Structure 1
Amino acid sequence: MRQISTSIEIHASPQHVWAVLVDFAGYKGWNPFIREGSGQATVGNTLTLRMHPESGKPMTFRPKVVAAEPGRALRWIGHLIVPGIFDGTHEFILTATDNGTHLVQGETFNGFLVPFVGKMIAGTERNFVRMNEALKKHVEGQELL
């Protein structure tokens, strides 16, 4: 198992951040990492997400939503080919602060390939940072309207 975690402070309410996070079709307008998405943030639903890593080829994943608590938490799990080879549980945790929202984006990787893909996981962490920064800029820009 391997975990990565990134965080950022966003000057907007958790409800506003949540609305942007679950608008998967809107990702194309602001998200440098997950540039295309579809589906509903409802437990049991399958999403379609097209990821464009900073280094590497675009990949399409079809993770299943395992938690969706509006304004608080979104979690999905995806698998490479079949469960057990390389699984990722991705999560966004939103916590209200005096100035808006503390967002944590992280992922827990499991499966027998994990020990062999350290470079890819490190790249994923950098992509999370890029996505967090773009989310902050996008959401805070909307708050000004």
Structure 2
Amino acid sequence: MTACTTLKEIDTSIDIDAPPCTVYATLADFGNYALWNPYHVRVAGSGVVGEGLEVRVSRPDGVVVDVPHVRLLEAEPCQSLAWGGGINGIFAGEHRFDLEQREDGNTHLSHTEVFSGLFIGFADLPVPVLTEGYERMNEALRREVEGK
């Protein structure tokens, strides 16, 4: 058996009726993920770029995964947050939250992930399931932020 897929992408988005800095504050508050986030049920770490994170996901198909070797890659207040890990060319992933201020002052969130490398085809990464999980998280984030 050989791996044919070297790239998998998940692209989701949502509009949130709150300014980007408010949305970012909720995304960057890892300690509260368990209170509102149905997909990333645990994210723990210092929040310092380059430092390790503990990430646990609960997929819509019932699979729970502790994601190994994750590092915070980017933390630009009011703009973007990204984490990921792996070995480039072999198996790597980058999970991103990019915030864009709309004309009305509210936020357009792009929530994406790109998996790349020779061994992606062997990994349990069902794009439809992950997409559903990200969409559920997006909606939960919208409710959490707009309810404050």
**Range of TM-score over shorter length:** 0.7 to 0.9
Matched letter for residue 7 of structure 1: S
1:91 aligns with 2:96: yes
Alignment RMSD: 1.8
Aligned length in residues: 140
The match for 2:126 is 120
* Secondary structure of residue in 2 paired with 1:63: strand
Give TM-score scaled by structure 1 length.
Answer: 0.87
1:73 aligns with 2:80: yes
Given candidates 61, 66, 70, the residue that maps to 1:63 is 70
Gaps of 5+ in 2: 1-6
Gaps of 5+ in 1: none
Structure having the higher strand fraction is 2
Is the CA contact (8 Å cut-off) linking 1:68 and 1:74 kept in structure 2? yes
1:49 aligns with 2:18: no
* Secondary structure of residue in 1 paired with 2:48: coil
For residues 83 and 25 of structure 1, the distance between their equivalents in structure 2, rounded to whole angstroms, comes to 29
* Secondary structure of residue in 1 paired with 2:121: helix
Higher relative contact order (CA 8 A, sep 6+): 2
Runs of 4+ that moved beyond 6 A? none
Is the CA contact (8 Å cut-off) linking 1:24 and 1:39 kept in structure 2? yes
Give TM-score scaled by structure 2 length.
Answer: 0.86
The match for 2:3 is none
